[in-house]
Structure 1
């Protein structure tokens, strides 16, 4: 990595791959009842609705992040992106995959219901140790001020 330019993809594809694989495997295993399900009859519809809302919310983040603001082009141009969806989330791409994973886990209602907390902790630690460090090194106080105003994965607006 050129020390004056941040990587376009960073560690994202690796993190998202791990989260995706774990989520899909746990969902498939629960569908075939190969792992215990925590079905609570009174809450089945609640989990289904909440999971669906989170998946839609995750997809809704993808559209302004990737298609409209073209965040990858901004990073390629070595710009600090703080506008658009980044007014609400510092890491919108990670957030969208987090929301989709949580939604799938809620819908599948399997024993991995603690997985979202583990995923969130994992993302937070890894991003703080890598990408946040790169961003602070590159933009210093500007990034620190931005990070005080805008959360990483869960918008203050929600």
Structure 2
């Protein structure tokens, strides 16, 4: 059964990496050192120097944890948690089911998606599809994926860096919204009124019934 979970883990993560790689903005791949530096400076301006540095460290930690889990040295077994197989299967289902949602979200964002908090010159506010109800569905889908992957692994070497990554993502939400408010002004303020941050907003009429 453990082999089944490990295979499921790497198939889910492999699909996730392929999806993200497919949607990397082609313009970013072709950036010159000067434009790349400008992008970094803008991300630092919007996120803060410590946040950008912490996110970089987390990325290295995530990749390292995945390699260790793949190689599976003996001492990693000491970090295993007694999570029931039923919960690990639930985690696998959650991680896999989040992938189609991530695909749809990337489709809606198109060229405007970026792992950094930056505004492109021709940036347009996306309010279609999932974004009609939720302002940050990418974070919602990543929460489901990372929580599912963590349950599936049943190992602290995977759980800890993923938990820290989610906390880092959540800390960006307010900064991202301030950035969007500054760029789109009243348009974004109106958009905020009928959408939820991570989940659809429940109409007050339904709550009072």
Query: What do the CA deviations read for 1:74-110 (whole angstroms, capped 9, x no partner)?
Result: 9864211111021233223343333322221110011
* Structure 1 segments (4+ residues) deviating >6 Å: 14-18
Please give the TM-score of this superposition, normalised by the length of structure 2.
0.52
Q: Distance in 1 between matches of 2:148 and 2:55?
A: 15
Residue aligned with 1:150, SS? coil
Q: Which runs of 5+ in 1 are unaligned?
A: none
Match of 2:81 in 1: 38
Is 1:90–1:153's contact at 8 Å kept on the other side of the alignment? yes
- The number of aligned residues is 146
Match of 1:65 in 2: 105
Is 1:37–1:110's contact at 8 Å kept on the other side of the alignment? yes
Which has the larger share of helix? 2
Match of 1:125 in 2: 171
Distance 1:65 1:101, change over 3 A: same
State which structure, 1 or 2, has the greater radius of gyration over its C-alpha atoms: 2
Alignment map for 1:44-59 (pairs within 5 Å)? 44-49=85-90, 51-59=91-99
Match of 2:184 in 1: 139
Is 1:98–1:119's contact at 8 Å kept on the other side of the alignment? no
Question: Would you say 1:101 and 2:146 are equivalent positions?
Answer: yes
Superposed CA RMSD in Å reads 3.8
